[in-house]
Amino acid sequence: MTPTQLRQLRDELPPFVGLGLEPTGLAGFCRFYGIDFSTRFPGVQYRVGTVPSGSFSLAVHRWLLPGATSTLLIVHGYFDHTGLYGKLIEFGLANNCNVLMFDLPGHGLSSGEAAVIDDFADYGQAIKAVLDAAQPPDLPLWAMAQSTGCAALVEYARNFQWPFAATVMLAPLLRPAGWAQGRVAHAILRYFTSNIKRQFSKNSSDPAFLEFIRRDPLQARRLSLHWVAALGRWLASLPRVDLGVGPVLLVQGDADRTVDWRYNVEAYRKLFPGSQVQMLPGAGHQLANETAAIRQRYLSLVAIWLADALAKQR
């Protein structure tokens, strides 16, 4: 799809509540990103629309599956969007889950300056706004998040009642790799510019994904220093203490060069005591889009984690 087509689609998205006509170009969008699951799962109902959250208009996608036994909320990472998470959406549908996903502020089809945030609290508020508007069916609700999406869930846990029966966090963000040096660079650069050119890192061992991401028209091409500053303020404000919402499944690759994973895993274990940690030898940061072999290794564990959580609900 072209940037012009995507802008038109963004402008035409109806409100998620009281959804009207299907926007022009939606079918092409779903085919382009491989999330046309209404053609692959018999009876699935797909809905997309906007939900207000503060000053932002969030693009929300939902797939309702006949006979679903639970609902899965997926929260993407920095620079990502719903269109890149077809593999996890398909996993949810294949495991008899309704799937709810949205684009974070400044990402995908949501409003906001590209990949910019002034306060990480806006990420937690976005989750609250989406759950309130979507009103998931009366089924167990669970969450799976990647990187910055995990930080969004942490913010949600700090400010709202935790609704999730099971939670999976993939390569969770807390401190980026090289954070000390990055803070020094930020302190200097912020006087001269508000952003710098983004370097597309090799954050997955799937070459097809790495090729696609470089030509994805929804990718931000600049790294916002405002976002870096917001991350710094969030880290300074976050006590490394029990959030009181129970354990999660932490999945982390040992070839991750995007985050300081050794520090982050231990910090997340303090936020979510009793959590299970699954290390993935050879896996990079972009676990949602790693090779099929790596995804199969951790998604089999995710399925068990979900089944155990569902058993406890009965």
| Domain residue ranges of the chain, discontinuous segments joined by + | 3-313
Q: How far apart are CA 200 and CA 185, in angstroms?
A: 19
Q: How far apart are CA 195 and CA 220, in angstroms?
A: 11
Q: Indicate whether 185 pLDDT > 60.
A: no
Q: How far apart are CA 269 and CA 246, in angstroms?
A: 10
Three-state DSSP class for residue 83: helix
Q: What is the pLDDT of residue 184?
A: 45
Q: What is the pLDDT of residue 223?
A: 79
Q: What is the pLDDT of residue 281?
A: 95
For the question of whether the overall pTM of this predicted structure is more than 0.85, the answer is yes
Q: Once rounded to an integer, what is the mean pLDDT over residues 193-202?
A: 76
Q: How far apart are CA 291 and CA 295, in angstroms?
A: 6
Q: Indicate whether 182 pLDDT > 80.
A: no
Q: Indicate whether 96 pLDDT > 80.
A: yes
**What stretches of 99-178 show up as alpha helix (H) in DSSP?**
121-134, 148-159
**Which residues, in sequence order, are CB contacts of 307 under 8 Å at separation 6+?**
none
Q: Once rounded to an integer, what is the mean pLDDT over residues 87-98?
A: 96
Superfamily of domain 3-313 in CATH is Alpha/Beta hydrolase fold, catalytic domain (3.40.50.1820)
Q: What is the pLDDT of residue 64?
A: 94
Query: If you search the block for the tokens 């995990």, which residue do you land on?
Result: 150
Q: How far apart are CA 210 and CA 218, in angstroms?
A: 14
Asked if 259 and 285 touch (Cβ cutoff 8 Å), the reply is yes
Asked if 4 and 27 touch (Cβ cutoff 8 Å), the reply is no
Q: Indicate whether 189 pLDDT > 60.
A: no
Q: Indicate whether 180 pLDDT > 70.
A: no
